[in-house]
C-alpha cells in the first residue's frame, strides 16, 4: 500500500494553509495512473468503476468513491436506497481502499455514514441527481438561493460531512462558503476561491462525448488520435475476419503440433 497517500486530516491541513487542490474524475486505470504520475491530489471514481486495480493505479491520490445513486443506483445487483444500503456500499469500497465517499442522499443517510466515522462528501449547488428541481443552470445567483446554499452548507457541517462538491455556484458565493466553513469545497465551475478545482478527464483531454461545461478546460485534444485509433482498430478487425474466412488464419506458427507417432498411437487407442 502507498505510504504517502494523504488522509482526511492532510486534506484539511491543506485547506488551513490555503493550498489549492487539484481533482479529476476518472473512469479507467489508465486515467487514474496518469493522474497519480502527474501528482493530482484527489480523484473522483464512481463505485461502478472502483476496484482493486483502480486503487492500485491511483497510487498516492486521495480517492473519493461515488456511492451508487441515480441512473446506476444499484449495489451488488440490488437497488440502493436505505441508509443501510449506503452504509454497506461505503464499507465495501472502504475495504478496497477508498478514502472518502460521495453521497448526495438525504441528511439522514449522510449522517448515518458520518456516525460510522466514514468521510462523507456531499454536494452543494447544481446537483445532477436532483436536476429535476433546478434544471441545468447555475444555482445561487439570487439572495434567496445563495442563503439556501449557506444553510445547506451549515447542515452538512453539523452532521459531520467532510467535504462537498460545489458545482456551478457564483464565485463570490463560493468564496463565502469556502472561507466560512470547515468543509473541503471541491469546486466545479465555482470560481478560483474553492479549496479544490475539479474537472472531468474527458474535458481535460478533449475526448468527451457529452456537452462540455463552461468551466471545462481542454489541455490536450485526444479526439483526433482516438478517432484514428478506432479506424485502425476496425481495419484490423476486418482483416482478421477476412483471414478467418479465407483460411489465412491460423497458420502453422499459431498451431500446437503433435508428433506423428504420438498421434498414430492416439488414433489406434480410440479406434480400437
pLDDT at 1: 45
**Catalytic residue list contains 165:** no
pLDDT at 71: 59
Residues 208, 36: contact at Cβ < 8 Å? no
pLDDT along the chain (272 residues), means of 10: 79 95 95 95 95 96 88 74 92 96 93 97 86 80 94 97 94 95 95 93 85 80 92 96 94 93 95 82
**Burial of 84 (C-beta count, 10 Å sphere; 0-12/13-18/19+):** exposed
Alpha helices, DSSP H, located in the chain:
8-16, 29-38, 52-57, 83-96, 107-115, 143-159, 171-179, 201-204, 223-246, 260-271
Q: Which grid coordinates belong to 222?
A: 485526444
Query: For residue 59, is it left (φ>0), alpha (ψ between -120 and 50) or beta?
Result: left
Considering 31, 165, 167, 202, which one is annotated as catalytic? Answer: 167
Instruction: Tell me the whole-structure pTM to 2 decimals.
Output: 0.85
Residue 234 and residue 222: Cα distance in Å, rounded? 18
pLDDT at 3: 56
Amino acid at each position: 500500500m502507498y505510504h504517502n497517500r494523504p488522509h482526511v486530516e492532510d486534506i484539511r491541513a491543506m485547506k488551513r494553509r490555503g493550498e489549492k487542490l487539484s481533482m479529476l474524475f476518472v473512469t479507467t486505470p489508465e486515467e487514474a495512473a496518469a493522474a497519480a504520475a502527474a501528482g493530482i491530489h484527489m480523484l473522483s471514481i464512481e463505485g461502478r468503476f472502483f476496484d482493486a486495480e483502480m486503487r492500485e493505479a491511483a497510487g498516492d491520490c486521495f480517492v473519493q468513491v461515488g456511492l451508487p445513486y441515480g441512473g446506476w443506483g444499484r449495489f451488488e445487483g440490488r437497488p440502493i436506497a436505505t441508509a443501510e444500503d449506503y452504509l454497506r456500499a461505503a464499507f465495501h469500497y472502504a475495504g478496497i481502499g477508498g478514502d472518502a465517499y460521495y453521497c448526495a442522499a438525504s441528511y439522514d443517510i449522510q449522517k448515518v455514514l458520518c456516525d460510522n466515522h466514514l468521510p462523507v462528501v456531499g454536494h452543494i449547488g447544481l446537483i445532477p441527481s436532483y436536476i429535476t428541481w433546478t434544471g441545468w443552470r447555475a444555482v445561487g445567483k439570487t439572495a434567496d438561493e445563495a442563503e439556501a446554499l449557506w444553510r445547506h452548507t451549515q447542515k452538512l457541517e453539523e452532521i459531520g460531512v467532510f467535504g462537498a462538491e460545489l458545482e456551478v455556484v457564483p464565485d463570490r458565493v463560493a468564496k463565502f462558503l469556502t472561507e466560512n466553513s470547515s468543509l473541503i469545497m471541491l469546486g466545479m465551475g465555482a470560481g478560483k476561491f474553492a479549496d479544490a478545482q475539479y474537472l472531468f478527464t474527458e474535458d481535460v483531454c478533449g475526448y468527451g462525448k457529452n456537452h462540455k461545461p463552461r468551466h471545462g478546460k481542454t489541455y490536450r485534444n485526444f479526439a483526433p488520435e482516438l478517432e484514428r485509433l478506432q479506424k485502425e482498430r476496425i481495419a484490423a478487425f476486418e482483416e482478421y475476419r477476412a483471414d478467418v474466412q479465407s483460411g489465412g488464419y491460423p497458420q502453422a506458427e499459431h498451431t500446437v503440433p503433435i508428433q506423428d507417432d504420438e498421434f498414430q498411437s492416439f488414433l489406434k487407442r480410440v479406434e480400437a
